[in-house]
A and B are shown apart, each in its own frame.
Chain A
Amino acid sequence: MTARLKPKHQRLVLVIVALVAIIGAGVLAAWGLRNQASFYLLPNELVADPPAAGQAVRLGGMVEAGSLRTDADGITVHFIVGDGEAKVPVTYSGILPDLFQEGSGVTADGSMGADGVFHADGLLAKHDEKYVPRELKDMTEAQKHQVVAEATE
């Protein structure tokens, strides 16, 4: 004697089994893509597994504070991209994106040179998830506290 399910419950079980199979396939696919689907390599990934000199890769990370300097020609810049673990020196000639600045995110298309410097032929600025009004940025810490205190009084 087998307990017979109501047709409604039969369909529910069938759909759940199908969904589990689809989600399983999706998770496997995402897992398989975990490296290929990344838009860029972090400095520590680049240092741990260096690409051949001249091989096109995309590097992404933070522009280290204080590392940015511009050559006498005015368009060649040198800076260091770091991720807290490894650092890669980068050089680039061309127009910088508006949001490019020290302490902010960047991705660089290019290749490693034999000199250990990453030669970029394209830069994109990366914005992070923080949104701060411009007025607050120019204030000192004390002024900010004052504004907040006034607002909450």
Chain B
Amino acid sequence: MHAFANPARFLRIARPLTPVLLLAGLGIIAASLVYGLAFAPAEQLQGETVRILFLHVPTAWLGMAGWSAIAISSLMELVWRHPLAALAARASALPGAVFTFLCLVTGSIWGRPAWGTWWVWDGRLTSMLVLLFLYFGYMALAGAVDREGGSSRIPAIFGLIGAINIPIIHYSVIWWNSLHQPPSITTGGSAMAGPFLWGLLAATLGFTLLFSGVVLARMRALLADIQTEARLRRKALEA
């Protein structure tokens, strides 16, 4: 990983990789959503509302993956002092928050016809809402540290502590009786019929590629910001 400590070397790979990830992601998303909306079969109980699954599950996965990225980057920053780790964590926060929000919205839209309610305070829904608030807290904290000055390790510590919520979200439907269904896809197999499963995996892959492309683009923007600022400061000193 320390090969990428040099920003120039990181950029040499990130610059061509960003459009590849974004375009491949968008293409796969478009194909899998068209399949999900038009070609996937109706579910025996849910009927047509099952189609929101192709949006809901990838956004839920990326909401949790986003915080996992923050936590791993924070660990790299705290222990190995990797110079790009702080950027990676900051770049993951906003996309992660957007996907968490989309997960809550699509879940709510599904819940109204399927369960009969927009929202309940069960373990899964509540822990997912807590994740959204953790994102808000992280962005506010990282923004304040970057703007007002202060140790960049403070948001990193927050990112690590917040990671405790990720296993809680996952196990909430197993530990506690919840209205939300338990996981359909486990290491033991899938309780989901093939026509749903394959479309879902494709949509998840597409959104993950898009997410990676967005994070890379945001890291490059943050790097460019830092370089501009350093250049301006140098100019000001020379003048």
Contact surface of A with B, Cβ cutoff 8 Å? 8, 11-12, 15, 18-19, 22-23, 26, 30, 33-34, 37-42, 60, 97-101, 104, 107, 123-137
Contacts and interface: CB of A to CB of B under 8 A. Distances in A.
Contacts of B176: 33-34, 37-39
Given A60-B177, A99-B45, A137-B44, A131 B50 contact: yes
B182 A97 contact: no
Counting from the closest, the 9 A-B pairs by CB-CB distance are A97-B116, A133-B41, A39-B122, A137-B44, A131-B192, A38-B177, A129-B184, A26-B164, A134-B42
Interface of B: 41-47, 50, 53, 75, 78-81, 113-117, 120-123, 160-161, 164, 167-168, 171-172, 175-179, 181-184, 191-193, 195-197
B7 to A, nearest CB: 21
B79 A15 contact: yes
A33 B181 CA distance: 20
6 contacts: A34-B176, A98-B113, A128-B182, A129-B182, A131-B43, A133-B193
Name the residue among B44, B115, B192, B197 with the largest chain A CB count within 10 angstroms: B115
A60 B178 CA distance: 9
A125 B115 contact: yes
Contact of B120 (A19, A124, A137): A124
B123 A37 contact: yes
A34 B44 CA distance: 33
B78 to A, nearest CB: 6
Contacts of B116: 97-100, 123-125
B44 A97 contact: no
B125 to A, nearest CB: 9
A34 B182 contact: no
Given A12-B79, A97-B116, A99-B45, 15 more contacts: A23-B164, A39-B177, A98-B116, A107-B179, A124-B120, A126-B115, A126-B179, A127-B46, A130-B184, A130-B192, A131-B184, A131-B191, A131-B196, A133-B41, A133-B195
Contact of B183 (A8, A19, A129, A135): A129
A101 B192 CA distance: 20
Given A124-B120, A125-B115, A135 B177 contact: no
B43 A15 contact: no
Nearest to B157: A18
Nearest to A40: B177
A122 to B, nearest CB: 8
A69 B182 CA distance: 29
A60 B173 CA distance: 14
Nearest to A132: B44
Contacts of A129: 181-184, 191-192
Given A34-B176, A129-B184, A135 B164 contact: no
A39 B45 contact: no
Name the residue among B171, B177, B197 with the largest chain A CB count within 10 angstroms: B177
Contacts of A42: 177
B178 A39 contact: yes
Contact of A127 (B115, B122, B177): B115
Contacts of A40: 177, 179
A13 to B, nearest CB: 9
Contacts of A133: 41-44, 193, 195-196
Name the residue among B46, B50, B79, B120 with the largest chain A CB count within 10 angstroms: B79
